[in-house]
Amino acid sequence: MRPAEPQEDRLLTLLRVGRIYAPEPLEANDILIADGRIAALGRDLEIPAGWPVRVVEARHLTAVPAFIDQHVHVTGGGGEGGCGTRCPEITAYEIASMGIGTVVGVLGTDSISRSPADLLAKVRGLRAEGISAYMYTGAYRVPPPTLTGDLQRDLAWIPEVIGLGELAISDHRSSQPRQDEIERIVSDTRVGAMLAGKLGICHFHLGDGKRGLEPLRRLLSETEIPAEQVIPTHVNRHRDLLEEAADYALTFDANVDVTAFDDADEDDLSGFGAVSRLLRRGVPVERITMSSDCNGSLPGFDDRGAYIGMRVAGNTTLIADWQRLVREEVLPLEQALGLISGNVARVLGLHASKGRLAIGFDADVTLLDSQLQPQQTFVAGKCLYDVNHTES
């Protein structure tokens, strides 16, 4: 009688690669994966005979921690021009094809035709397909829409909820929240997260309004809220805001998130240009992250705030801007990886299991070619993208 075939999830996986950046370069060139985690790192690892193992031969590729995108409209954004301008959902394949293993889903302007419940369902669907997915509760508006009717309950009782976002400030589409409302929301998020053992990030959407980062400056200056609780995003929306973001990061030792805009008007405001500018201003690379705003809307408005058109944001610009930072030697690979992996894991409170290639960490691995282009993406040890295989 033939022995039963080993179950797919019981197999060991051995990645044999050319180099490993963990993010620092390692002497190892093999990664052994067991039960979704990294079990061993070494040179020319040998597996005992008879052990069920899948070997991936990729000596021409470089292994890095799978990328993390902390700002993705997984259910689609948009809607500023009516129901016909709602953006589409993103697929697991689209995520993994860019080397991304983890996403955080977010609601934006439209929390009427889309809801936190829709977002949670999509996040759980992505998880079922193998993507590591989380979400923010809330949206642009105040009071923020929630799953349970209470911010603290959402954070305490829903495992997928890791914070609040994207709460809009300095934007004509925001609820124009008062300072005391911002302080109360951030405080509630902090306490709810503490009850669940989470960091409880408050992810703030920055528009191009004249107040800029002033509400967050006041929050950190006038309350006991720690700077790590707050992440302003879209800080490269215009030149003055980017300069203010540099001052904010340096003054409060705070984190700032650069958006890889598909439609950046000037190269200085692209993801590449913005990171370069922040670094020149002296902002530590550890305080900078990049995200895509993928499947969100890129609406156009005239001087009176009237909607005039829209495009849908993709995630290819995020990877392209990141690659350019390495190719043009703005940052070495080991530091640049932090922008879309290690730094992001830290600011989200996921750094105990993600953002590094180390024993015991989640086996989220992206294999890059010599041009830094993702060729394979593994999440919890499962290959979700292979450039040599088309989407099924």
Q: Where are the alpha helices (DSSP H) in 40-107?
A: 92-96
Which residue shows structure tokens 């309950």? 153
Residue 57 burial (CB < 10 Å; 0-12/13-18/19+)? exposed
Radius of gyration of the chain (CA): 21
Contact 186, 225 (CB under 8 A): yes
Q: Which residues are annotated as a binding site for Zn(2+)?
A: 71, 73, 205, 234, 293
Half-sphere exposure of 53 (CA within 13 A, CB side): 17
Are 165 and 206 in contact by the 8 Å Cβ rule? The answer is no
Q: Give the C-alpha separation, 21 to 214, whole Å.
A: 38
**What does the CA dihedral 218, 156, 293, 276 come to, rounded to 10 degrees?**
50
Secondary structure tally for the chain: helices H, strands E: 10, 17
Three-state secondary structure readout of 188-238: HHHHHHHHHCCCCEEEEEECCCCCCCHHHHHHHHHCCCCHHHEEEECCCCC
Give which of 243, 251, 190 is closest to 216, Cα–Cα: 251
Give the Cα separation of 377 and 66 in Å (integer).
Answer: 7
Side chain identity, residue 53: V
Residues in CB range of 159: below 8 A, 6 or more apart: none
Percent helix, strand and coil across the chain, each to the nearest 5? 30, 30, 40
Residues of each annotated binding site: 71, 73, 78-80, 109, 140, 173, 205, 234, 237, 293, 297
Residues designated as active site: 293
Please state, in angstroms and rounded to a whole number, the distance separating the CA atoms of residues 90 and 217: 34
197, 192, 287: which is closest to 248 by C-alpha? Answer: 287
Instruction: Report CA-CA distances (Å) from 172 to 232, 242, 306.
Output: 17, 19, 11
Task: Detail the residues annotated as belonging to a binding site for substrate.
Answer: 78-80, 109, 140, 173, 237, 297
